[in-house]
Amino acid sequence: MKKFLTTAFLFTLAVAAFAQGAPAAAAKGLFEGQFTAHIALAIAAAGCGLAQGKAVAAAVEGVARNPQAAGNIRTTMIIGLALIEALVIYVLVAAFAIK
């Protein structure tokens, strides 16, 4: 997992480095900000998926250990999932603002 995150980070840096050297005519299409918005949205969605998966796994484990607390754990998990998803929605709004 650490190698994957390192590779993804280095790929993002490489894309940004190549974007800096683009001539003005080529900068109109791909590197005007729309590409950056799409990359940011993809990273945010991937992070959201990982975080939601980890939250649900922890909630299921908590319910398995203490079935009487299932209601409280479920409520807390749903609130946490909503806050995690809100971060992706903020990035989506920013991506629309860039376009």
Q: Is residue 4 part of a domain?
A: no
Q: Is residue 23 part of a domain?
A: no
Split at pLDDT 50, 70, 90, the class of 57 is: very high
Q: Is residue 21 part of a domain?
A: no
- pLDDT tens for 2-23 read 777 777 776 676 666 566 555 5
Q: Is residue 12 part of a domain?
A: no
Please provide residue 36's backbone torsions phi and psi, each rounded to the nearest 5 degrees: -65, -40
Give the sign of the dihedral formed by CA 59, CA 65, CA 70, CA 75.
negative
Environment class of residue 68 by beta-carbon count within 10 Å: exposed (0-12), middle (13-18) or buried (19+)? exposed
Burial of 1-34, coded b for 16+ CB within 10 Å and e otherwise, reads eeeeeeeeeeeeeeeeeebeeeeeeeeeeebeee
Average pLDDT, the chain: 81
In the chain, % of residues over pLDDT 70: 76
Tokens of 75: 């409520």
CATH number at residue 92: 1.20.20.10
Domain tally, the chain: 1
Q: Which domain holds residue 70?
A: 30-98
Split at pLDDT 50, 70, 90, the class of 96 is: confident
Q: Is residue 87 part of a domain?
A: yes
